[in-house]
Structure formats: C-alpha cells, structure tokens
Amino acid sequence: MIAVIQRVSEAAVAISGQEKASIGTGLLILLGIEDADTREDLDWLSRKIVHMRVFPDEAGVMNKSLLDVAGELLLISQFTLHASTKKGNRPSYIKAAKPDVAIPLYEACIDELSQQLGKPVKCGVFGANMQVSLINDGPVTIIIDSKNKV
C-alpha cells in the first residue's frame, strides 16, 4: 500500500459537483492498493498514519500526532499511485489491485482507521471520479509505502 499523507487545515471531496465529505484540521490520505497488499500492510500503515507526529507542539516542532490534536482524517482511494512510468508516456497500472481485491482492503482500512481514531473517517467513493480540494498546511506531504517498512 502506498499512502500520500498531507497535513491539512481543511480538505474536501466532491463527486459530480456535490460535496461528499470534508474535514478541518487533520490529514488527507491518498491510498493506493496493489495486488500484493495484505491485512498486515493495512494494519501497519493505519498505525503509522494515526501515530505519525506531523503536527506542531507549543514550540512549533512537529511532535504531535493526529490523536494528540484530535484531528480529522479524509481517506481517498487512488489507484494511480501504483503507476509504472518505465516505458513510453502512458502510465501502466498493472500493479494496482482490481476492485475485488482493493475494495475489501479499502473498506477495512476505513474501519481500522476509525477504530484507532475513535471517530469516523471521512472518505470518497471507491472508483468514482472525484474532485479533491485541500489547503496543505506547512506544506507537509509524506509518502509511505508498506513494502518499505523494514
């Protein structure tokens, strides 16, 4: 799993011009799932996201987690994170999981993150054409790949 984590002061997702979900201070997560991903990847990544210290403390040092600041989380599925650009100019998405694999993992990720946060996770709609807007605070953007956890 690949996650692009962005610290935001606000973020929203719309589908066909209608807002689906929005958050204030928190994290916007773009999540890419590949065929080789497992529940172990999901659990590891969820823990990392919730406990990652990317919010400033009283001294302005990034020392607080999403839990510490009672922040919100907006999770968006994004298969294009697994694009291969090695050959030609048209990306290949062969590594991206098909819906029969990706949807259950995406839904499990929503549940796991909600459980760890102690509140609902806002999300987009898997496979939909979504418009995501955000104010990246910092900017802080971090990319995590569960295949590089060692």
The residues annotated as belonging to the active site are: 78-80
Cα-Cα end-to-end distance for the chain: 14
Q: What is the 3-state secondary structure (H, E, C) of the chain?
A: CEEEEEEEEEEEEEECCEEEEEECCEEEEEEECECCCCHHHHHHHHHHHHHCCCEECCCCCEEECCCCCCCEEEEEECHHHHCECCCCCCCECCCECCHHHHHHHHHHHHHHHHHHHCCCCEECCCCCCEEEEEEEEEEEEEEEEHHHCC
Token pair for residue 150?
């060692």
